[in-house]
Structure 1
Amino acid sequence: MDAVEKANADRQKSWIKDRKVGEGAYAVVYQGREASTGRKVAIKKIKVGQFKDGLDMSAIREVKYLRELKHQNVIELLDVFSSKTNLNLVLEFLDSDLEMIIKDRSLVFLPADIKSWMAMTFRGLEFCHRNWILHRDLKPNNLLIASDGQLKIADFGLAREYADPGYKMTCQVITRWYRPPELLFGSRYYSSAVDIWSVGCIFAELMLRIPYLPGESDMDQLKTIFRALGTPTEEDWPGHTKLPDYIPVGQFPKTPLRDLFTAASADTLNLLSKCLIFEPRKRINAKEALFHPYFFALPYPSHPSKLPKCATQVERPLEEVDGNVEIASTAKARNNILKRKLSSPSEKGRSIARRLDFTKQTPGS
Structure 2
Amino acid sequence: MSDLDPSKKVADRYLKREVLGEGTYGVVYKAIDTQTGQTVAIKKIRLGKQKEGVNFTALREIKILKELKDPNIIELIDSFPHKGNLHLVFEFMETDLEAVIRDRNIFLSPADIKSYLQMTLQGLAYCHKKWVLHRDMKPNNLLIGSNGQLKLADFGLARIFGSPDRRFTHQVSKIFVISQERGKKIVMGSSDIDQLGKIFAAFGTPAPSQWLDMVYLPDYVEYQYVPSPPFRSLFPMASDDALDLLSKMFTYDPRTRISAVQALDHRYFSSAPLPTEPSKLPRPAPKKESKVSDFNPHEGPTVLSPPRKSRRVMPGRDGFEENSLRGDNVGDFRQTAGDNTGKSEPAPMSIDFSIFGLKSPNRPTINSADRSHLKRKLDLEFQQPE
TM bucket, shorter chain: 0.7 to 0.9
Instruction: Give the structure 2 partner of residue 81 of structure 1.
Output: 80
Corresponding residue for 2:316? none
Q: Which one-letter code corresponds to 2:148 in the other structure?
A: G
The alpha carbon displacement at 1:126 in A equals 0.8
1:129 to 1:252, Cα distance in 2 relative to 1, 3 A:
same
SS of residue in 1 equivalent to 2:273: coil
Q: Deviations over 1:139-190 (max 9, x none)?
A: 00000010110001000111111021331111134x2328xxxxxxxxxxxx
Q: Measured at CA, do residues 66 and 117 of structure 1 come closer, stay the same or move farther in structure 2, by a change above 3 Å?
A: same
* Partner residue, 1:62: 61
Letter of the 1:103 counterpart = R
* Superposition map of 1:261-272 within 5 A: 261-272=235-246
CA shift at 1:23, angstroms?
0.6
2:253 to 279, 285, 291: 279
> CA, structure 1 residues 317+49, in 2 after alignment: closer, same or farther (shift >3 Å)?
same
Structure 1 CA distance for aligned equivalents of residues 329 and 82 of structure 2: 28
**CA–CA separation in structure 2 for the residues paired with 1:299 and 1:207:** 23
**What's 2:140 paired with?**
141
1:239 and 2:213 equivalent? yes
Distance 1:112 1:281 in 2: 30
Q: 1:86 and 1:259, CA in 2 relative to 1: closer, same or farther beyond 3 A?
A: same
Cα deviation digits, residues 230-286 of structure 1 (max 9, x gap) = 111111111312322222221111111101211111110111111111111111111
Per-residue deviation, 1:211: 7.3
Of all paired residues, the percent bearing the same amino acid is 45
Relative contact order: is structure 1 or structure 2 higher (C-alpha 8 Å, sep ≥ 6)?
2
Amino acid across the alignment from 1:100:
A
Residue 319 (structure 1) aligns with? 326
Return the alpha-carbon distance in structure 2 between the equivalents of residues 280 and 322 of structure 1: 28
Residue pairs, 1:113-128, within 5 angstroms: 113-128=112-127
Relative distance call for 1:144 and 1:218 in structure 2 (3 A) is same
Kindly tell me: are residues 310 and 336 of structure 1, through their superposed partners in 2, closer, same or farther at Cα, counting changes over 3 Å? closer
Distance across 2 between alignment mates of 1:70 and 1:234: 40
Q: Distance in 1 between matches of 2:64 and 2:2?
A: 28
Return the offset for 1:210: 7.5
1:26 and 1:50 in contact (8 A); partners too: no
Secondary structure of the residue aligned to 1:176 is: coil
Rounded Cα–Cα distance in structure 1 between residues aligned with 2:222 and 2:329: 23
SS at match of 2:229: coil
How much has 1:224 moved relative to structure 2? 1.1
Alpha carbons 1:213, 1:225 under 8 Å: kept: no
What are the equivalent positions in structure 2 for 1:1-365 lying under 5 Å apart? Answer: 6-50=5-49, 52-173=51-172, 175-177=173-175, 214-313=188-287, 316-321=323-328, 337-339=354-356
Per the TM alignment, residue 50 of structure 1 is displaced from its structure 2 partner at its CA by: 5.0
Please list every run of 5 or more consecutive structure 2 residues that lacks an aligned counterpart in the other structure.
289-311, 313-322, 331-351, 361-386
Query: Which amino acid in 2 is paired with 1:337?
Result: S
The TM-score with structure 2 as length reference comes to 0.73
CA drift at 1:51: 6.5
Query: Equivalents in 2 of 1:291, 1:279: separation in Å?
Result: 20
TM-score of the superposed pair, with normalisation by structure 1: 0.77
- What is the identity, as a one-letter code, of the residue corresponding to 2:175? W
Unaligned runs of 5+ in 1: 179-201, 324-334, 344-365
How many residue pairs match? The answer is 307
Alignment-mate amino acid for residue 338 of structure 1 = I
Q: Deviations over 1:316-348 (max 9, x none)?
A: 43212599xxxxxxxxxxx993246797xxxxx
Q: Is the 8 A contact 1:213 1:221 kept in 2?
A: no
Whether the aligned pair in 2 keeps the contact of 1:45 and 1:87 (CA below 8 Å) is yes
